Amino acid sequence: MGNTQPRHHQIIIHAVLGIGAVIMVAPFIWQILTTFKTVTESRAVPPTILPAVWSIAAYERFFTSVPLWSLLGMSLGVLVVRVGGQLVLCSLAAYGFARFRFPGRGLLFGVFLVMLMAPSQLFLISQFDLMKSLHLLDTLPAIAIPGMFSAFGTFLMRQAFIAIPKEFEEAARLDGANSWQLFWRILLPMTGPTLAALGVLTSLYSWNDLLWPLIVASNKHMTLPVGLSLLQGQYGTDYPTLMAGSLIASLPLIIVFVILQRQFFAGIASSGLKG
Amino acid sequence: MAKGGVAAERRRPHSHLREATVGYAFILPALVGIVALYLFPLIKTAYLSFTKTGVFGDSTFIGGANYANLVTDPTFGTALRSSAIYTVIVLLAIPISIVIAALIAQVRHGATLYRIAYFLPVVTLPVAVGMVWRFIYNGDFGLLNALLSLIGIDGKAWVADPTVAIFAVSAVGIWTSLGTAIIILGAGLQGIPQDLYEAASLDGAGPLRQFRSITLPLLTPSIFFVSVLSVIGSLQMFDLIYVMIGRNNPALSQSQTIVYLFYQKAFVEGNRGYGAAIAIALLLIIMALTAIQFRLQKRWVFYG
Amino acid sequence: MKTQRRTARLLAVSTRAATMTASLAACSGGPSTSTSNTGSEQVTLTYGVWSQEETMQKVADAFEKANPDIKINLQVNPWTEFWTKLQVGAQGGTAPDAFWMLADHFQIYADGGQLLPLDDAIKDANIDMSVYPEALVNLFNYSGKQFGLPKDFDTVGLWYNKAMFDKAGIAYPTTDWTWDDVKSASAKLTDQTAGVYGIAAPLNRQEGFYNTIPQAGGEVITKDGKSGYSDPKTQAGLQYWVDFIKDGNSPTLQQMADTEAVAMFENEQVAMYYGGSFYAKRFYDNEALRAKVDVTELPAGAKKATVINGIQNVGYAQSAHPNELKKFLIYLGSEEAAKIQAATGAVIPAYTGTQKAWVDSMPDFNLQSFMDSTAFSVPYPVSKNTAVWNEYEMTELTKAWQLEESVADAANALSTQMDKALTEEKR
């Protein structure tokens, strides 16, 4: 749709989008304002918009009760291992499914798809038992490993490989490239946007995961959501502290997102282009 | 999906074995993990669903008794209803996203800012999202009721009132899922050739007409993709109920979802066998709904 | 709060533990269970708790000092996920060596063979079990074996806001109060237009109907293991609470789901609150509240009663170091450990004679009332799989608390479901 409409069209569009954007952002603004209130003020009826006195006590309470840097480090470490592992594993498998013919391919791919539809809580106990028999309990790999294997990721990458015209491979094969070289040097770089999308989505899952890290690791391997959950137990009704904690825990990903938003969007968009 | 591809067929016959070997080699690492971490647990769960299994100790085979109980269990019925309500309401995010994506595509300035604003909830921790909204929904000192009182509406205790809690949670579900849908659908919009609109303009079609006869049909593949993922994700919802409703809430029994019920039975009440039956039933429901969507796509999805 | 230092410490301890687990894994089983101080071998025990980190770290430090060959690695997990994690760990053979246990979860673990019997350790250490309240000892005895040593206990008292009583011109509650006194006071204290209520009547077991049911002469579970909810006396104990909501003298159940009843009491929206002794520290630390509130014994219905419950320290049956573990558990039940905990005011230690330190730790409050209440205390009602019928209690009684069903209808429905669950768990 061209940019040819009259000016008042633009104003109406901005008004509609603006109202929507305010609804989207308002909870965050409210959260930030609450962090500077006292506990009593946060429960005032009717609520005050701006804090009567700006106080940073909630942040002090948060920082004294939560080892932020250790949580952050752990969350980040898990994210890197999980995303890295998943990108490698999923693209290898996806290439196999997309470009090779072998007995049982349809069945195996079907198995991958079924796993996509099962709720993750179902796997908790067996995955825990497996991590135990591998002597990995209470380690960073234990938190990261199950998330490295993804049916969704394989599906997404397979779509990306299928979309690449065969001519690229034929030409390279004539030049004597083997399957690995084809995959690594030619095809994988061409799936860049999908790879980025998968990285983005996996980062989100990894950052947000609560139950699995909690069950498989103990204090020294606590991730941010686990720390936040601990905070909720400790400060159940102290909304300023809870709001401060959840703001700080979400902030790293929000900052990364705002800086890399172009890549974020390109990646996520590419995941939906081929249904 | 079983077609091998042109390249494979052109190659010499004796390379079939070699091709299969290389193919297996590529999928092997992922396959090992999927089988050990996902397929095996799933098979075990399927087996457990036919047993009476407590938290510790042995399990006894009881045939289909868990499933028979499931059918007559009113809590399972209520959980199904809550999951269905949540899934249907969150699907409303798709039409809203189409409109917003279409509007963003038309602004001359500030498109990036809008995208960031709508996407923020996606990059926020679910635990944090739950806490913030619980606070906003508070019946006594919540922001929502304060705003409603300005226009003369006497609000409710949104997440504690059994009649509205699941709807309040679903609204948050929409709020968190708009961002991704807008981006995917927005990319779909960009993929629509500009000259189609120009030609339609020349034929005298107005913006609404263009939207109906060009934008929507060409967007259907993206809409299909988003709705399939939305249904799967919504039926697996657990976090929001866990954080926003929580235990000891009078609204819990009316608003717990299937996955929450599974968690309650398997982990709180220690009834692994019954929990397994709930999980398998949910998996079958998701598979059936996804299959139906794929079957129906021929009727409305337009692959140009 | 000194929590940060504690956390730093905790991390240091954990790191030490990690390097040691590696070396311990090499020597499997046998010799490392020796408790002699001569060997250079150090043993690490994990200790799973859900709160009181500072206090428990002090206890662990004191134990380590006396037993240099045993290190304690304190693991704190959020309350809501504590039991999920414990359950997965126990079935997988990796629960903490020592951990906190509550009566309503106890029997399923004892029955599943997950807990270390302590009878021989108690005998060897010459522990006189009469130093603990008898009701607590019995809660953790399963098929004739003792599995836990009481760590602390809690009874329930009537907390009240003196300032709000003064304002309404009513005399403060006394130990002579009965249900009728609470009813008339709550009506006078309530001012709905100001959003102020005389009392909070949450749907709460330990701080709510588990006290009023025995006060009315009823039972949650009968002696022969049946539901007591069809008994009219039990139902009277429920009706007591529902009446406050019906008369508008308590916030509604929904309001109390949004904002915990205890928070409403702290917020001075509620003048009276049936609260556990474990809230003493929280109210005391709230400086705005400290001077305004006090506590007394629960008012009598047909008779006086309070439910008694508490945390016990138990050991994991599959621990690699059962001897060191027993040593640690015996220490946790000792007078010394009790004194450390009493001094911080966190909880009432279960060891008789050490509680005075707790009572004295917060002189502004009449904490002696919690101690005196033990004279008429009844044990917290449990069965083998308490969680199942606890869920039914919530679902069915919610209907009565929301005034959708009569107490009799809700309680009778609950009784039927609960009896079914109790029969089921015996199979």
Strand partners, B53: B59
Residues A88-146: tens digit of each pLDDT = 999 999 999 988 888 888 899 888 888 888 888 888 888 888 888 888 888 899 999 99
- Is there a contact between B25 and A89 if contact means CB atoms under 8 Å apart? no
Residues in C closer than 8 angstroms to A45, CB to CB, are 195
pLDDT tens, position by position, C255-267: 898 888 998 999 8
Please tell me if residue C258 touches chain B, with a CB cutoff of 8 Å: yes
Report the alpha-carbon distance of residue A104 to residue B2 in Å, rounded.
9
Judge whether residue A2 has pLDDT over 60: no
Q: How far is CA A25 from CA A241, B116, B169, B176, C119, in A?
A: 20, 10, 18, 11, 60
The answer, for A44 touching chain C at a CB cutoff of 8 Å, is no
Candidates C216, C245, C244; CA nearest to C231 is C216
Give residue C26's pLDDT. 34
| B118/A229: higher pLDDT | B118
Residues A50 and C137: their CA atoms lie apart, in Å, by: 53
Of B184, B162, B37, B42, the residue nearest B100 (C-alpha): B184
**What pLDDT sits at residue A261?**
82
**Confidence tier at B26 by pLDDT (50, 70, 90):** very high
Higher pLDDT among residues C3 and C331, named by residue: C331
Q: B13 falls in which pLDDT band (50, 70, 90)? A: low
Q: Model confidence over C398-407: pLDDT tens digits?
A: 999 999 999 9
Tell me how far apart the alpha carbons of residues A23 and A263 are, in angstroms, rounded to a whole number: 25
Chain C residues with CB-CB distance to A219 below 8 A:
10-11, 14, 74-77
Write the ipTM. 0.86
Alpha helices in B151-302 (DSSP H): 165-190, 194-202, 207-210, 216-235, 239-240, 252-255, 258-263, 272-300
pLDDT interval class at A4 (50, 70, 90)? low
Interface test with A, best of C4, C44, C196 (most A CBs within 10 A): C4
Facing A70 at nearest CB: one of C11, C78, C80: C11
Residue C33 has pLDDT above 50, yes or no: no
User: Would you say the C-alpha torsion A50, A51, A55, A60 has a positive or negative sign?
Assistant: negative
Whether C370 contacts C295, CB under 8 Å: yes
Which residues on neighbouring strands pair with residue B61, listed in sequence order? B51
CA separation (Å) from C82 to A226, B263, C6, C76, C257? Answer: 11, 14, 20, 9, 22
Count CB pairs under 8 A between chains B and C.
84
The shortest C-alpha distance from C127 to chain B (Å) reads 31
CB neighbours of residue C5 within 10 Å: 12
Tokens of C137: 């000892």
Interatomic CA distance for residues C231 and C411, integer angstroms: 9
How much is the pLDDT for A181? 87
Nearest-Cα distance to chain C for B175, in Å, is 21
Report yes or no: C238 and C209 within 8 Å, Cβ to Cβ: yes
In a domain, B128, yes or no: yes
Please report which confidence band the pLDDT of residue C17 belongs to, taking 50, 70 and 90 as the band edges: very low
Domain total of chain B: 1
Note which residues in 113-132 of chain A have CB less than 8 A from chain C.
Answer: 124-125, 128-129, 132
Q: Is A274 on the interface with C (CB under 8 A)?
A: no
Neighbours of C291 (CB within 10 A): 10
Task: Report the DSSP pairing between strands C141-142 and C145-146.
Answer: antiparallel
- Interface touch A128/C78, C-beta < 8 Å: no
> Least CA distance to A125: which residue of chain B?
B41
Two tokens, residue A224: 């941010």
Which of A45, A66, A214 is nearest residue C85 as measured by Cβ atoms?
Answer: A214
Q: Which residue has the higher pLDDT, B303 or B232?
A: B232
Token reading at B199: 């030609």
| A106, A262, A268 member nearest B1 (Cβ) | A106
**B74-96: average pLDDT:** 96
Of A104-113, B281-290, C34-43, C195-204, where does mean pLDDT reach its minimum? C34-43
Q: Is C398 on the interface with B (CB under 8 A)?
A: yes
pLDDT attached to residue A272: 56
In the predicted structure, residue C36 carries a pLDDT above the cut 70: no
Distance (Å, whole) CA B159 – CA B247? 12
- Local structure of residue A165 (DSSP, 8 states): -
Model confidence pLDDT, tens digit, residues C415-426: 999 999 999 888
Q: Is residue B13 part of a domain?
A: no
CB of C319 closer than 8 Å to CB of C325: yes
Tens digits of residue pLDDT in B185-216: 988 888 888 888 889 888 888 888 888 888 88
pLDDT of residue C368: 95
- The tens digit of pLDDT for each residue in C148-194 reads 999 999 999 999 999 999 999 999 999 999 999 999 999 999 998 88
Which candidate, C7, C56, C35, C53, places its Cα nearest to that of C337?
Answer: C56
Enumerate residues 6+ apart whose C-beta is below 8 A from A106.
Answer: B1, B2
- What is the C-alpha separation between A191 and C384, in angstroms, rounded? 56
Joined together, the tokens standing for residue A35 give: 């962090």
Spell out which residues of chain B touch residue A250, defining contact as CB-CB under 8 Å: 123-125, 128
What value does the mean pLDDT of chain A take? Answer: 86
Distance CA B156, CA B127 (A): 23
Q: Which of A251-265, C19-33, C41-55, C368-382 has the lowest mean pLDDT?
A: C19-33
Q: In the prediction, which pLDDT does C22 show?
A: 35
Q: Give the residue from B219, B216, B214, B217 showing the smallest Cα distance to B199.
A: B214
In a domain? residue B49: no
**Are C263 and A237 inside 8 Å of each other by CB?**
yes
Interface test with B, best of A62, A100, A116, A246 (most B CBs within 10 A): A100
Number of Cβ pairs closer than 8 Å across A and C? 84
Other C-beta atoms closer than 10 Å to the C-beta of B11 total 12
Residues of A in Cβ contact (< 8 Å) with C83: none
Q: CB-side exposure of C303: number of CA atoms within 13 Å?
A: 12
Decide if C93 touches B, using CB distance below 8 A.
no
- In sequence order, which ranges of C169-275 are alpha helices (DSSP H)? 179-189, 210-215, 232-246, 253-258, 261-266
DSSP string, A103-129: TTHHHHHHHHHHHHHS-GGGGHHHHHH
- What residues in B contact A229, CB-CB < 8 Å? 127
A82 near C CB under 8 A: no
d(CA A189, CA A181): 12
Q: Are C277 and C190 in contact (CB under 8 A)?
A: no
Contact list, C251 vs chain A (CB under 8 Å):
none
pLDDT in tens, A155-167: 888 888 888 888 8
- Name the helix (H) or strand (E) containing A253: helix A239-259
Q: Which range marks the domain in which residue B157 is found?
A: 71-300
**Averaged over A13-21, what is the pLDDT?**
94
**C197 strand-pairing partners:** C270
Query: Is C15's CB within 8 Å of A220's CB?
Result: yes
Cβ atoms of C46 and C75 closer than 8 Å: yes
**Inter-chain contact A270–B187, Cβ cutoff 8 Å?**
yes
pLDDT attached to residue B86: 97
pLDDT in tens, B88-140: 999 999 999 999 999 998 898 899 999 999 999 998 888 889 889 999 999 88
Question: One-letter amino acid identity for C165?
Answer: F
Stretch 177-236 of chain C: residues touching chain A, C-beta under 8 Å: 195
Q: Which residue has the higher pLDDT, C243 or C195?
A: C243
Partners of A72 on chain C (C-beta within 8 Å) are none
Domains belonging to chain C, first-starting first, are: 3-153+311-361 (3.40.190.10), 156-308+383-426 (3.40.190.10)
Six token digits for residue C172: 């403060």
For residues C280-295, average pLDDT: 91
Side chain identity at residue B169, one-letter code:
V
**Strand C348-349 to strand C293-297: parallel, antiparallel, or no bridges (unpaired)?**
unpaired
Residue A274 clears pLDDT 80, i.e. is over it: no
Distance CA A166, CA C189 (A): 82
Count of other CB atoms within 10 angstroms of residue C278: 23
Nearby residues of A2 by Cβ (< 8 Å), 6 or more positions away: B194, B197, B198, B201
Contact (CB, 8 A) for C392 and C417: yes
pLDDT confidence of residue A88: 94
User: Average pLDDT, stretch B242-268?
Assistant: 88
Assign C75 to helix, strand or coil: strand
- Give the CA distances from residue B122 to residues A7, B246, B260, C124, C168, in Å, rounded to whole numbers and listed in that order: 32, 22, 22, 59, 50
pLDDT of the residue at B190? 85
- Residue C267 is nearest to which of A43, A67, A211, comparing CB atoms? A43
Q: What percent of chain C clears pLDDT 90, i.e. is strictly above it?
A: 71
* DSSP letter assigned to residue C258: H
State the alpha helices, DSSP H only, in C308-406: 322-332, 335-344, 355-361, 368-372, 386-401
* Amino acid C286: pLDDT: 84
Burial class (CB in 10 A: 0-12, 13-18, 19+), A167: exposed
The pLDDT, as a whole number, for residue A5 is 62
Q: Look up residue C32 and give its DSSP letter.
A: G
For range C45-54, the mean pLDDT: 90
Amino acid at C424: E
Q: Is A3 helix (H, G, I), strand (E, B) or coil?
A: coil
User: B residues 31-50 near A, CB within 8 Å?
Assistant: 31, 33-34, 36-42, 44-45
Of the CA atoms within 13 Å of residue C160, those in its CB half-sphere come to 26
Which residues of chain A does C91 touch, with a Cβ-Cβ cutoff of 8 Å?
Answer: 125
A120-124, C228-232, C354-358: range with lowest mean pLDDT? A120-124
Angle at A153 between CA A221 and CA B96, to 5 degrees: 100
What chain A holds in terms of domains, given with CATH numbers, is 7-61 (no CATH), 68-273 (1.10.3720.10)
Q: How crowded is residue A18: how many other Cβ atoms within 10 Å of its Cβ?
A: 14
Tokens representing B47? 């087996």
Question: Between residues C198 and A41, which one has the greater pLDDT?
Answer: C198
Do A119 and B38 form a contact (C-beta atoms < 8 A)?
Answer: no
**Alpha-carbon gap, residue C385 to C426, rounded angstroms:** 9
| B50 assigned to some structural domain | no
* C80 contacts in chain B (CB < 8 Å): 246-247
Residue C7 has pLDDT above 50, yes or no: no
**Contact across the interface for B55 and C112, Cβ inside 8 Å:** yes
The 10s digit of each residue's pLDDT in B28-46 is 999 999 999 999 999 999 9
CATH code of residue B254: 1.10.3720.10
User: Which one is predicted more confidently, C136 or B9?
Assistant: C136
Report the phi/psi class of residue C276: left, alpha or beta, with left for phi > 0 and alpha for psi in -120 to 50: beta
pTM to 2 decimal places: 0.86
Helix C79-91 to helix A224-234 angle (10° resolution) is 120
Cβ neighbours, 10 Å, residue C24: 17
* CA separation for the pair C162, C170 (Å, rounded): 9
Compute how many other C-beta atoms are within 10 angstroms of the C-beta atom of residue B97.
25
Q: What mean pLDDT do residues C13-37 have?
A: 36
| Separation CA C310–CA C408 (nearest Å) | 31
Quote the tokens at residue C149: 């040593």
- Output the pLDDT for position C150: 94
Phi-psi region of B79 (alpha: psi -120 to 50; beta: other; left: phi over 0): alpha
* Top-ranked range on mean pLDDT: pick from B133-142, B265-274, C245-254: C245-254
CB contact under 8 A, A115 and B290: no
